Structure 1
Amino acid sequence: MPAQRADARRNYERILAVAEEEVAAHGADASLEQIARTAGVGSATVRRHFPTRSALLEAVFRERIEVLAARARELAEAEDVRAALLEWLGELTVYSASVQGLATALLRNGELAPEHANPCVDTLTEAGEPLLRRAERAGVMAPGATAVDLVTLIAGIALATQHHPDPATEADRLLGLAVAGISPRG
């Protein structure tokens, strides 16, 4: 990627900072025009840096997605693979339910199909796949599940609980119910 001019880089950083605040306050449907106004740039400048709403949402969540991916890689080496998988899914669930807009960012166009490439999902699924496969080999995970299935489940739980008075707690409770179906032993 070519180096950006200093003013372009400042605009990018300012737009991203404002977008983080707006998405936190209004979710994935935060107004792009309001983001531009608050950042002190034109809407064309926002679109030049983030050609689609999805690109903006991916940038807003990139850092935390990377942290969650690193956590999956770390947990993939844990002795108790079932506990490690459930810990990672729990962290992903609580974050997804606590942060407006993330579930929508994960479910670009309402689905996680491969033809709808999504860097947030790709990062999570690539990191979670070894943890999932290890759990499957240990017999503590239902065979045939994919990391995309698990991210879809988490996104669905987050969307289902977004208007609950305590979305993170409710999402964690629903994950517990789902776990009984995907990993009944333990």
Structure 2
Amino acid sequence: MLRVAREQLAAGDDSLQLNAIARLAGVGVGTVYRHFPNRHALWEALSTERFQDLVDEARAAAADEDALAGLHRLLRFALLHALSDAGFAAVLESASDTDAQTAALKAELDGAVAQLLDRARLDGVIRRDVEADDVRRLLCGVEHAVRSGDSDPARAEIYLDVLLEGLRPPR
């Protein structure tokens, strides 16, 4: 089922109709719905690898000597992945998860980002009142802003700069 869904995505069809996936995979509709109760659950399954990459990048950013540079690198990495994969972006911004693995990956991500933010706060380079979940939500807002425009990569960099400036402590 995941192979068929990936093939559909590769062919440019991101509708991921569960009935069509069942037909193309040669399984019953009930089988698909047992594994993926809705389209979002399928997106979660398809995004697991990309989410793990994001968690790994967050850990690397948290280990960076320069916390602000690590945060900037992490935000750019996450934004580029979200812009290139609308399903991943939907999973990243979702407040609730269908799959326990997705919830666990989000918890790992938030833990690594919290560690990075703690270091950045100690360095005095970000506000004290910003939490990991806030950063994820703000990044999703940047992703939405870029998508709602002409998806110009230069705008993405400008929006990231605005986000980073907003994360700095008040002057």
1:101 equivalent to 2:82? Answer no
Q: How big is the shift at 1:23?
A: 4.9
1:130 equivalent to 2:105? Answer no
RMSD, matched Cα = 2.4
2:124 is matched with which residue?
139
Q: How big is the shift at 1:170?
A: 3.3
Contact 1:90–1:175 (Cα < 8 Å) also in 2? yes
Contact 1:98–1:168 (Cα < 8 Å) also in 2? no
2:136 is matched with which residue?
151
1:38 is matched with which residue?
24
Q: Which runs of 4+ in 1 moved over 4 A?
A: none
Aligned length: 164
Q: 2:151 aligns with which of 157, 166, 182?
A: 166
Contact 1:26–1:100 (Cα < 8 Å) also in 2? no
TM-score (norm. length: structure 2): 0.82
Local SS of the residue matching 2:47: helix
Local SS of the residue matching 1:161: helix
Contact 2:47–2:88 (Cα < 8 Å) also in 1? yes
Cα separation, partners in 2 of 1:101 and 1:160, compared to 1, 3 Å: farther
Local SS of the residue matching 1:148: helix
Q: Structure 1 unaligned segments of length 5 or more: list them.
A: 1-14
Structure 2 distance, partners of 1:41, 1:169, is: 44
Q: Kindly, what percent of the aligned residue pairs are identical?
A: 34
Q: Structure 2 unaligned segments of length 5 or more: list them.
A: none
Q: Which amino acid aligns with 2:68?
A: R
